[in-house]
């Protein structure tokens, strides 16, 4: 089903560092792109994760009720190959796994992104076992309103999210992110195949299906794009300029780049905003959509320009931050508080 065939197999290897050597001199045929939305799209980041524990069905339901256009399930694999909505394979930060003595011996050390991590890992549990855990708020000191729901919600699979949307007739899109694909590759597992299987089985693998696919790993997107025709986008963290050569590569093989806010409007050492970069315009000139993450209301996450008072959990002038990025022409924003993103829009 690939639109790009064997060329992309070569690009996957060449792009391990997100740069294809010599690509600019001999660009591939550009991928056909979707027209940008007439107004910015609001993506509920991990559901309405400012109000309820992230990646629960309840957080997704709330996000839909608050007017989100898209909900974002991050996906990890279980021991029996199921796709569960979690931000990372590690479980202790967002579940009560540490309170389950029957799973004490599952705590172990593994290497993720080149770093040794000691925790409980979703891929050491079957789905049935994970269903005995309950979700917890990641940052309870900043979000006591969300932490009040700790212990009440099960973990949810991507299939269950799609079942809910089908049952309610919702036209909200899902934007699944494949987390740490290379981590699974090293264990002989394929998160790309798992997601492609789900989409194919549900006839959601077409260009106009209400599903977009994302990852931080470019080769992973190249791989899954050989099986599905859905729009695909690369997440790019950090700060600093993105070269024209890289944008040319992305425009030939992807639909979207999804950027850390600092890539668009940098901050100085004290957290104050600097002049915007031109990356949005350069990406648009190449037919790429530009999404940006993550918008949060609390002072801890806002630029110093928009903070109110000194309390980290106090809400600052979040509306001005939305307006800044909307004015710069971004196509979509990821928000923990999707109702606020909608209101600012």
* CATH code (residue 41): 3.20.20.190
State residue 38's pLDDT score.
77
Q: Does residue 123 fall inside a structural domain?
A: no
Tell me which residue of 34, 336, 51, 329 sits closest to 345, measured CA to CA.
329
Residue-range definition of the domain harbouring residue 222: 6-16+27-93+155-344
Q: Does residue 108 fall inside a structural domain?
A: no
Tell me which residue of 210, 191, 237, 20 sits closest to 4, measured CA to CA.
20
State residue 34's pLDDT score.
52
Please count the helices (runs of H) and the strands (runs of E) in the chain: 13, 13
State residue 31's pLDDT score.
61
Q: Does residue 168 fall inside a structural domain?
A: yes
Q: Does residue 286 fall inside a structural domain?
A: yes
177, containing H or E segment = strand 177-178
Q: Does residue 126 fall inside a structural domain?
A: no
What is the model's pTM?
0.90
In the chain, what is the greatest distance between 2 CA atoms, to the nearest angstrom?
A: 59
Tally of domains within the chain: 1
Q: Does residue 164 fall inside a structural domain?
A: yes
Q: How many CA atoms within 13 Å lie on the side-chain side of 332?
A: 28
Note down pLDDT in tens along the chain; length 345 residues. 333 333 333 333 333 333 332 333 333 445 655 555 679 999 999 999 999 999 999 999 999 999 999 999 999 999 999 999 999 999 999 999 999 999 999 999 999 999 999 999 999 999 999 999 999 999 999 999 999 999 999 999 999 999 999 999 999 999 999 999 999 999 999 999 999 999 999 999 999 999 999 999 999 999 999 999 999 999 999 999 999 999 999 999 999 999 999 999 999 999 999 999 999 999 999 999 999 999 999 999 999 999 999 999 999 999 999 999 999 999 999 999 999 999 999
Tell me which residue of 249, 264, 304, 94 sits closest to 179, measured CA to CA.
94
Q: Does residue 268 fall inside a structural domain?
A: yes
Q: E-strand spans in 247-330? A: 256-260, 289-295
């Amino acid at each position: 089903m690939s639109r790009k065939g064997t060329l992309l197999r070569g690009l996957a290897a060449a792009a391990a560092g997100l740069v294809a050597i010599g690509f600019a001199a001999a660009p591939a045929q550009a991928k056909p792109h979707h027209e940008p939305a007439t107004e910015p799209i609001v993506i509920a980041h991990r559901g309405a994760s400012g109000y309820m524990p992230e990646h629960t069905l309840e957080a997704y339901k709330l996000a839909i009720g608050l007017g989100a256009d898209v909900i974002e399930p991050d996906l990890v694999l279980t021991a029996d190959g199921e796709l569960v909505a979690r931000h990372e394979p590690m479980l202790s930060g967002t579940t009560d796994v540490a309170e389950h003595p029957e799973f004490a011996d599952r705590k172990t050390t593994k290497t993720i992104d080149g770093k040794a991590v000691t925790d409980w890992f979703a891929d050491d549990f079957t789905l049935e076992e994970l269903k005995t855990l309950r979700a917890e708020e990641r940052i309870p000191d900043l979000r006591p309103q969300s932490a009040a729901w700790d212990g009440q919600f099960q973990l949810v699979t991507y299939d269950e999210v799609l079942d809910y949307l089908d049952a309610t007739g919702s036209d909200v899109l899902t934007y699944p992110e494949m987390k740490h694909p290379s981590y699974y590759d090293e264990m002989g597992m394929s998160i790309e195949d798992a997601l492609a299987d789900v989409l194919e089985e549900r006839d959601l693998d077409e260009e106009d299906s209400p599903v977009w696919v994302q990852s931080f790993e470019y080769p992973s997107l190249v791989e899954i794009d050989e099986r599905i025709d859905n729009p695909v986008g690369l997440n790019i963290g950090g700060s600093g300029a993105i070269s024209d050569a890289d944008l040319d590569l992305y425009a030939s093989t992807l639909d979207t780049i999804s950027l850390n806010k600092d890539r668009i409007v940098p901050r100085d050492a004290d957290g104050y905003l600097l002049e915007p970069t031109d990356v949005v315009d350069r990406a648009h000139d190449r037919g790429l959509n530009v999404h940006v993450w993550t918008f949060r209301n609390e002072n801890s996450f806002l630029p110093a320009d928009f903070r109110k008072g000194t309390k980290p959990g106090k809400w600052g002038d979040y509306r001005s931050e939305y307006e800044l990025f909307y004015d710069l022409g971004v196509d979509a924003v990821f928000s923990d508080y999707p109702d606020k993103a909608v209101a600012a829009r």
